[in-house]
Amino acid sequence: MRPALAAQPLVIREATQDDIAAAQAIYAAHVAKGLGSFEETPPDLAEMTRRWRDLTGPGLPYLVVETEGIVRGFAYAGLYRHRSAYRYSVEDSIYVEAGAMRRGLGRALLGELIERCTALGYRQIVAVIGDSANVASIGLHAHLGFQRVGVLHAIGFKFGRWVDSVIMQRSLGPGESVLPVTKRNP
């Protein structure tokens, strides 16, 4: 299955409400088996739909990647923090189904997310990666220009053990080198 999936053209597009069930299933598997998310109980479809609406309502990007018409992963940007001074900063989240990892889908998704956040006028994007041993996510972010800026040691407790968060950051557009000319609402 690996070569066939890898050979299929990727389609990256804005998620619609019809895609949220697939996103929920992908995310539920990550919550149940992985340390990339610090949630311990997978959110149901209604909760995932609410989260999608909360992000897309104000115009933040929420993307899906598909091959052969099947959603294989999703990524979105949310506000990094809700206080007004953070209004030029977003935080990314990205999840790919287990059987589709290491085929370039995450790289394509995150690359498109970066482009869209830049076009929207954001200047910084932050990744808060669960687990210092999550080399796939850390490597993906590094490949796309993120720098490791810190580690929160033993900040979470999941699956009977302490888990770190790795903080990575990347400038978007001119980053901090040019002051913003337009006022972004918080």
Query: Is the confidence at residue 1, as pLDDT, over 50?
Result: no
Backbone angles phi, psi at 110, to 5 degrees: -65, -35
**For position 2, what pLDDT does the model report?**
44
Say if CB 151 and CB 165 are below 8 A apart: yes
**For position 100, what pLDDT does the model report?**
80
Domain 2-177: CATH class, spelled out: alpha beta
* Average pLDDT over every residue of 124-130: 98
What global pTM score does this model have? 0.92
Taking every pair of Cα atoms in the chain, the longest distance, rounded to a whole number of angstroms, is 49
For the chain, domain boundaries: 2-177
* Average pLDDT over every residue of 100-106: 87
Query: Is the confidence at residue 112, as pLDDT, over 80?
Result: yes
**For position 182, what pLDDT does the model report?**
73
